[in-house]
Amino acid sequence: MSIPNMNFYYLTIRNQANDIDVNRLNRLFPSQGEHEDDKKKFIIWRFGIMGFLGKLFNKPPKPGRPRQVTDGTFQREVIDSEIPALVDFWASWCAPCKVMGGLLDDVGPEYEGRVNIFKLNVDQNPQTAAKFGIKSIPTMITFKGGKQAERITGLLPLNPLRHKLDKLAG
């Protein structure tokens, strides 16, 4: 039996309770031999594992961790906020941006309620990046009282990052 190209991924799990749609599975894999039931069990097992991993890794962000902001939400979330904010302008293909994102993930909970930390993907949100003249990434801009307070370009080590956040929160 040949497995149809990616067709077996098509909704063999019928709902959020992970009930298996056995009829759909039987249509995709008609019994042709003694090992067919084992193949179906493997597919069912695989979907169970994938569902578990999806629940494990698709959790909401912890409080204080950087939140995504877009062109449409930037004004409301950053400029109009009474709490000072740091916005990390980044891109998914930028290795230093990923390092900076990890540092912000680590220190973010320490500043919860005192500094809002946001991430803006410059590839997906070019209007805001252009508005603030982002020429290289990672670039972080701090905002206080709706105005730009400071601009940091490049990768910033952990202690200087904490110092800048303490100054912004103070």
The answer to whether the CB of 45 falls within 8 A of the CB of 52 is no
The CA distance from 76 to 109, in Å, is 22
The CA distance from 147 to 81, in Å, is 11
The CA distance from 99 to 94, in Å, is 9
Q: Which of 13, 20, 28, 94 is catalytic?
A: 94
Q: Is 97 a catalytic residue?
A: yes
Strand pairing category for 116-121 and 147-153: unpaired
Among candidate residues 131, 15, 105, 145, the one with its CA nearest the CA of residue 24? 15
E strands, the chain, in order: 67-68, 85-90, 116-121, 139-144, 147-153
Q: Is 94 a catalytic residue?
A: yes
Helix, strand, or coil here: 20? strand
Q: Which of 97, 137, 141, 168 is catalytic?
A: 97
Give catalytic residues, as residue numbers.
Answer: 94, 97
